[in-house]
Amino acid sequence: MKASAQVVVIGGGVVGASVLYHLTELGWTDVVLVERKELTAGSTWHAAGGMHTLNGDPNVAKLQQYTVNLYREIEQRSGQDCGIHMPGGLMLADDRERMDWLRMAQARGRYLGMDMEIISAAEAKRLFPLLEERHFIGALFDPAEGHVDPAGVTRAYASCARQAGAEIYQHTRVGDLRQRPDGTWDVITDSGEIHAEHIVNAGGLWAREVGRMIGLELPVLAMEHMYLITEDMAEVAEYNAATGHELPMCLDFDGENYIRQERGGMLLGTYEQACVPWSPREAPWTFDKQLLTPDLDRIAPSLEIAFKHYPAMADAGIKNVINGPFTFAPDGNPLVGPVPGVRNCWVACAVMAGFSQGGGVGLTLARWMTEGDPGEDIWAMDVARYGNWASLAYTNAKVRENYSRRFRITFPNEELPAGRPLHTTPVYDRLTAHNAVWGAGYGLEHPLWFQRAGEEPIEDVTFRRSNAFPVVAEECATVRERVGLTECSNFAKYRVTGAGSAEWLQGLFTNRLPRPGRINLTAALDPGGHIVGEFSVARVGPDDFFLFGSQIAEAHHSRWFRGHLAEGVRFDVLALSLVGLSLAGPVARDVLQSVTDTSLATEDYPFMTFRRIDVGMIPAYVGRMTYTGDLGYEIWVAPEYQRALFDLLWRAGQPYGVGLFGFRALMSLRMEKMFGTWFREYRPIYTPVEARMDRSLKLDHDFIGRAAVEAELARGPARTLGYLDVTPDPTEPADVVGDEPIWHNGAVVGWVTSGAYAHYSGRSLAFGYVPSELAVPGAMFEVEIIGQRRPARLLAEPVLDPAGLRMRA
Ligand SMILES: Cc1cc2nc3c(=O)[nH]c(=O)nc-3n(C[C@H](O)[C@H](O)[C@H](O)COP(=O)(O)OP(=O)(O)OC[C@H]3O[C@@H](n4cnc5c(N)ncnc54)[C@H](O)[C@@H]3O)c2cc1C
């Protein structure tokens, strides 16, 4: 065994093997993989090997596409048979909503170049004669689905990596990990020690236990999962003889099962409601290429439906039942990337679909390690999308919810209940008493809208307009015509202090820093000129700043800031030690002025002022800005003051007709003001030039990514963020939700990033990226909403108050 290596990958499942392979592909060859038993000994060996490209996040779908296309190459290069079968796959719809979902999935696939087809139930029956047609109303056929041999794929990755110089030590367990002061690692195994610059936790079923070796509690949990394999079936033989190929795979959402041909029989797996975690507290090290005892009673309800939907299955003999564990993160996507706060420590775990995702996970992690950047938008997989709040019990609740909903639709306006409420602010009970309908992000509850008194605070889930629609319209009118009050604690808040802070931030930010007492907006870029963050910067002293950013990116962004930290500068995450309320609307100033001695007249407190003032008796930082685009204020206080502040503002607002508004209204109001948002319009795959962040981009100072911006400005951006006025279907109106394709002259030319119905202006609006040469004001496009191409006109300016007079009043 080597005494030292640049990288030690812990775990020889399909994911660890893929990471090793991709590291060598990118030129890091002093790399080793340590496996406690044999390659595949965790969850990999008993997987069903199914793979597909479809994913709710288009960026993850792209990586799945990459994975599926990689198998032929590694098979050829290694000489190892990967058992690749590509019979295509059907997704079956049994009701209208599922059909809508399939149409939306097909539409999303269009701009990824996926060639999927909506077909009738009769056509589905022709392709897959085992199904009983009357239970279905249609299907989506994806020719790029198939299955592989899990062990073959893992060995092929390993073999290619070995050819490039990597070493693999099997029957070698990592028992401990110790970091040296210089950030390198001593990897302690039962066969000796390896000194490594980097470690990668690809421990699969034991990833949580490997994390614990360095005091980490990764949000990952294994679940039991069952599939059965039948004896050979005459129906299968007949189909194969008649068509000359194997049956396609089939996903039956209603039955919560998947089915595919396995040799001369069928393989049927279920995601049962009565799901069971495996080793919820501690995974045993003695578990070795083992299976769990099957529990047919548990999957009986799913089998019953499967036998109705595929009658031939009811008569087939069962040859084998597999019950094995595999891992999930709370949202079902992998955990990948550098662990925040721990140098040279990387993870690639919680990969629940190793054969669809393993290649993309390996590629992006290897790029991140060797090039400093994953090279793709991997937010949906970033380990930093969770903070310390994602405890073992939270993970347990969320993973069980996710597993049992694997084949259920999650609607764009749906908020799932497990693991909530977790974080609440002091005004939670006040807002609940006002009939708030709550949503959650990054563990924190935030009000979505306020149901009318006497009605249940519940939102109907739908792809179209919900029962919130008329109520949110009233909330918007309150803000635009009088004054609205809302909670704004769901921002990430950071404080930057210490000598050299200004110089440090100026080198990170695209905008000039504001003067003390002022706020402005800025972007931060990577060296390639892509947007890594978008922030409001409030300066309270020469070297004293508050930064406000996206809350869900709190761990993600603070990892980035800390990775660039300069000597003498202090960077603090304020989290819920600073909470906020926001007042917005034409009389917001009158309300706030009635409870403070500080003059709020525009000449004394102009737009984009940020100062420490007293509001009533409460010490507060007050910024004159709101995301609604109206005259307004964000008032930041320590949590112990928030209830008193709420009561004060609520009372003071009564003579002015104050009303509460929530996040849904805010999204509607920001759309008519043409304000973009992080993780939608602004993401690491876009540049500030494409995103038209002109006001945040000043080339009068040096900052990371400036050279790339200048080069792009010189050649012109390939695509541009467009602002679209969409005409919804008048009979059954639906607004965009994001990721819809944008058509032009019969071809898909772009995609929607976000949108909403702008209630006050009475327009359905969307943002989306289109080729720059088409981004001409007045140009006509079509946006595909639930299978319908709806006309959309590109607008040059906000539909409301384009000169921004309301904010500056
Ligand atoms: C019944 C079943 C059916 C499935 N069907 C499919 C499917 O059809 N399609 C699909 O994509 N996925 C499927 N999966 C999921 C798939 O198995 C996983 O996504 C995949 O195996 C994850 O691979 P991994 O490398 O992350 O983890 P693992 O396979 O668990 O690998 C981790 C490895 O790390 C080693 N290890 C851990 N700790 C240490 C240590 N301290 N020292 C040394 N070595 C260590 C372990 O021994 C293990 O070999 C299925 C899973 C099950 C259970």
Task: Please name the residue whose Cα sits nearest to atom 4 of ligand 1.
Answer: 47
Whether the link from the prior residue into 741 is cis, omega within 30° of 0, is no
- Please state the rounded mean pLDDT for residues 271-292: 94
Closest atom, ligand 1, to C-alpha of 17: 25
The whole-number pLDDT of residue 54 equals 84
Mean pLDDT lowest among 25-39, 44-58, 527-541 = 44-58
Q: Ligand 1: distance of its center to the CA of 171 in Å?
A: 16
Residue 37 near ligand 1, beta carbon < 6 Å: yes
> For residues 640 and 646, what is the distance between their CA atoms, to the nearest angstrom?
11
What is the model's pLDDT at position 56?
80
From the CB of residue 784, how many other CB atoms can be counted at a distance below 10 Å? 23
- Is the sign of the CA dihedral 435, 437, 440, 446 positive or negative? negative
Q: pLDDT digit string (tens) for 407-442?
A: 999 999 999 999 999 999 999 999 999 999 999 999
- Banded pLDDT at 57 (limits 50, 70, 90): confident
Q: Is the CB of 146 under 6 A from ligand 1?
A: no
Q: Is 332 helix (H, G, I), strand (E, B) or coil?
A: coil
Q: Is the CB of 225 under 6 A from ligand 1?
A: yes
Task: Give residue 43 CA to ligand 1 midpoint distance, Å.
Answer: 3
- Confidence check: pLDDT of 114 > 90: no
Whole-number Å distance, alpha carbon 348 to ligand 1 midpoint, is 11
Mean confidence (pLDDT) of the chain: 97
pLDDT at 289 over 90: no
Among residues of the chain, what percentage have pLDDT more than 70? 100
Report whether 588 contacts 630 (CB < 8 A): yes
Neighbours of 527 (CB within 10 A): 12
Distance 11 CA to ligand 1 centre (A): 9
Q: How far is the CA of 469 from the centre of ligand 1 (A)?
A: 45
Ligand 1 lined by 44 (C-beta under 6 Å): yes
Q: What is the pLDDT of residues 723-768, one digit of tens each?
A: 999 999 999 999 999 999 999 999 999 999 999 999 999 999 999 9
Average pLDDT over residues 54-66: 88
Percent of the chain with pLDDT over 90: 97
Given a contact cutoff of 8 angstroms between Cβ atoms, the answer to whether 320 and 229 are in contact is yes
Structure tokens at 430: 């006040």
**Structure confidence at residue 58 as a pLDDT band (50, 70, 90):** confident
Mean pLDDT of 681-701: 96
User: Which residue, among 772, 749, 788, has the nearest Cα to 110 in the 3D structure?
Assistant: 749
Measuring from atom 41 of ligand 1, which residue has the nearest CA?
A: 174
What number does the ligand 1 atom closest to the CA of 323 have? 1
**What's the CA-to-centroid distance between 174 and ligand 1, angstroms?**
17
pLDDT band at 582 (very low <50, low <70, confident <90, very high): very high
Cβ-based burial of 56 (10 A; exposed 0-12, middle 13-18, buried ≥19): middle
Pairing of strands 763-771, 138-142: unpaired
Statement: residue 375 has pLDDT above 90: no
Q: Is the CB of 348 under 6 A from ligand 1?
A: no
- Looking at the predicted structure, is the pLDDT value of residue 112 above 90? no
Across the strands, what pairs with 641? none
Mutation to probe ligand 1, out of 251, 326, 328 (largest number of atoms < 8 A from CB): 326
Q: Which of 21, 37, 43 best tests ligand 1's pocket when mutated (most atoms within 8 Å of CB)?
A: 43
**CA 15 / ligand 1 centre spacing (Å):** 8
Atom 2 in ligand 1: residue holding the nearest Cα: 47
Measuring from atom 37 of ligand 1, which residue has the nearest CA? 203
User: What are the C-alpha distances in Å from 115 to residues 54, 84, 106, 204, 627?
Assistant: 11, 20, 8, 32, 39
Least confident segment among 51-60, 470-479, 548-557: 51-60
Q: Which helix (H) or strand (E) covers residue 393, if one does?
A: helix 392-404
pLDDT digits (tens, 9 = 90+) for 177-221: 999 999 999 999 999 999 999 999 999 999 999 999 999 999 999
Q: Over the stretch 348-367, which tens digit does the pLDDT of each residue have?
A: 999 999 999 999 999 999 99
- Give the residue, by CA position, lying nearest to ligand 1 atom 51: 47
Give the range among 107-116, 142-151, 693-702 with minimum mean pLDDT: 107-116
Chain centroid to CA 218: 17
Instruction: Confirm or reject: Cβ of 32 under 6 Å from ligand 1.
Output: no
Is there an atom of ligand 1 within 6 Å of 173 CB?
yes
Ligand 1 atom at minimal distance to the Cα of residue 322:
1
- What is the model's pLDDT at position 424? 98
Residues 6+ away with beta carbon under 8 Å from 317: 230, 231
Model-level pTM?
0.96
Taking CA atoms only, the protein residue closest to ligand 1 atom 14 is 47
